Amino acid sequence: MLYCKKTFKVRKLTELNDACEIYIDAIFPQVYAEVLELLEKGTKIHVLRSPSLVKKFRDKNGAKKSHDSDAIILAKIPRIHFKELTLKELNLLRFINIYKKCAEWKRIIKQWTNIYSLDPLEKCAKGLRSIHNYYGHRIIEEIMRNENYATMYRMVCEELELKDSVEVAILVARLPLNWKLSRLKGLLGLTPCGNRSYNHKLRRHLANLAVTIYLNNR
């Protein structure tokens, strides 16, 4: 559901190809291709910096959760809370998504190869490793092309004594670094109270980074 002066439903984002600007609360891998098509046509896509703002505005106005009410609420959120999505940023998100999928497929195939030692499975695992490594390099390349990301990436890698790290690159790209430290800790599940609503995917990247640091210092 996308938003203007009145609410209406669309099956695909590309049905809004006559719009000059589109404001959305979040972007998911399922719509990357549609967003790419809109961006290439010149449509400006604005993504909410913090999706939790919708819930805050909903609670503030005493509204019930529904597609229509959330659409109306989203339209009322000041534009300063949105960030324009660029083609480079979308490509980076696409690379990260493929990288994570390859990692999951590798894990599943490894489990199978531990049970059945078959040549086809081993060849598949080898092919996935190649694809996984390729997109890992692409992610780092995209991060290094972005001045804001590159500075933070270099600083963290130097601090951790890592030459290159895909996990650092992903965390730099995905973490909302404009948040307060306490909120970032909560997002990663690092608060003493053990916040159950932390981002499990980002927490996994943090855990992978810890493993990388350990292996590099053995």
Residue 204: burial class (beta carbons within 10 Å; 0-12, 13-18, 19+): middle
Higher-confidence position of 212 and 42 = 42
**Most confident of the ranges 1-5, 18-22, 196-200, 213-217:** 18-22
What's the CA gap between 152 and 157, in Å, rounded? 9
Tell me what the mean pLDDT of segment 97-110 comes to: 88
pLDDT at 3 over 50: no
Looking at residue 1, its pLDDT comes to 42
The domain locations on the chain are 2-85, 89-216
Per-residue pLDDT at 142 exceeds 90? yes
Cβ 6 vs Cβ 28: under 8 Å: no
Alpha carbons within 13 angstroms on the beta-carbon side of residue 1 total 15
The CA–CA distances, whole Å, from 30 to 91, 94, 137, 209 equal: 14, 10, 23, 27
pLDDT, tens only, 156-200? 888 888 888 898 899 888 876 666 666 666 666 666 655 555 666
Task: List pLDDT tens digits, range 29-68.
Answer: 899 999 999 999 999 999 998 877 888 888 887 778 878 7
Contact (Cβ atoms closer than 8 angstroms) between residue 175 and residue 149: no
Of 183, 178, 177, 180, the C-alpha closest to 197 is 183
Residue 6 CA to residue 200 CA, distance in Å, equals: 35
Q: What is the pLDDT of residue 181?
A: 65
First to last CA, the chain: 51
